Amino acid sequence: MTLVLENPTARVKWLAAPSSVSWLEQANGLPELVLIDHAHCERKAAGVALQLMFRYPSDEGLGALLSPLAREELEHFELVLGLLQRRGMALRPLPAPVYGASLTAAVRKGEPERMLDSFLVAGLIEARSHERMALLAAHSPDPELRALYGELLASEARHFGLYWCLCEERFGREATVARLEELAAVEVEALSGELANPDAVRMHSVGVVLR
Ligand code: FE
């Protein structure tokens, strides 16, 4: 299988390394598993947005951006859930890859560092989702999945842009870029290595090209 991964929509400045062809092949090998995981990702992304609003309840600017974000993530969840149901598939629980936990572990405990790190981690997850959805939108053998991922792409790009804005407004560009570089390295580390078995493929399972 020869693939060109330099899809322009997949090139995102947040990410320190691009996803590998192996990840794409593994994902295309078990598309329904990735779809179930994707539904969980949208549900969790809505949860993260709400969690941040609850953690900083008096920050109006934060609420103004995160409330519509949470709603949009839930709309995506419903969209994916609808497709699962049409295909007679249950939203069964899946063991999550270590990805999320590795990133959360890198969030510093004290404020305001915790806020910056939380925004950057949320943005990195969105950026990786966007990059991988762009690959699936271009290369999934299933036309319905290509259409679904294609439809979600534009909003995913807005999502990491939004987290970028929250960081820049509050912490300035220089501090944001410096910390982003560190966390982007953690993100790539979390995606490094070989997949243990095909059933472990997820939207955020291992598979990056290290330079
Ligand atoms: Fe999103």
Query: From first to last of its 211 residues, what are the pLDDT tens digits of the chain?
Result: 334 444 333 344 899 999 999 999 999 999 999 999 999 999 999 999 999 999 999 999 999 999 999 999 999 999 999 999 999 999 999 988 899 999 999 999 999 999 999 999 999 999 999 999 999 999 999 999 999 999 998 888 889 999 999 999 999 999 999 999 999 999 999 999 999 899 999 999 999 998 7
**How many angstroms is it from 159 CA to the middle of ligand 1?**
5
Concatenated DSSP letters for 13-46? TT-SSPBPHHHHHHHHHSHHHHHHHHHHHHHHHH
> Rg of the chain over CA atoms, in angstroms?
17
Distance (Å, whole) CA 160 – CA 49: 12
CB atoms within 10 A of CB 50: 16
- Kindly state the helix (H) or strand (E) to which residue 48 belongs, with its residue range: helix 31-55
pLDDT for 6? 43
**How many angstroms is it from 110 CA to the middle of ligand 1?**
26
Distance (Å, whole) CA 115 – CA 24: 33
**How many angstroms is it from 49 CA to the middle of ligand 1?**
10
**How many angstroms is it from 147 CA to the middle of ligand 1?**
17
Cβ pair 203, 132 in contact under 8 A: yes
pLDDT for 155? 86
What amino acid occupies position 28?
A: N
What amino acid occupies position 148?
A: L
**How many angstroms is it from 87 CA to the middle of ligand 1?**
23
pLDDT for 84? 96
Tokens encoding 140: 């999934």
**How many angstroms is it from 126 CA to the middle of ligand 1?**
5
> Any idea which architecture 17-194 has in CATH?
Up-down Bundle (1.20)
Where exactly are the structural domains of the chain? 17-194
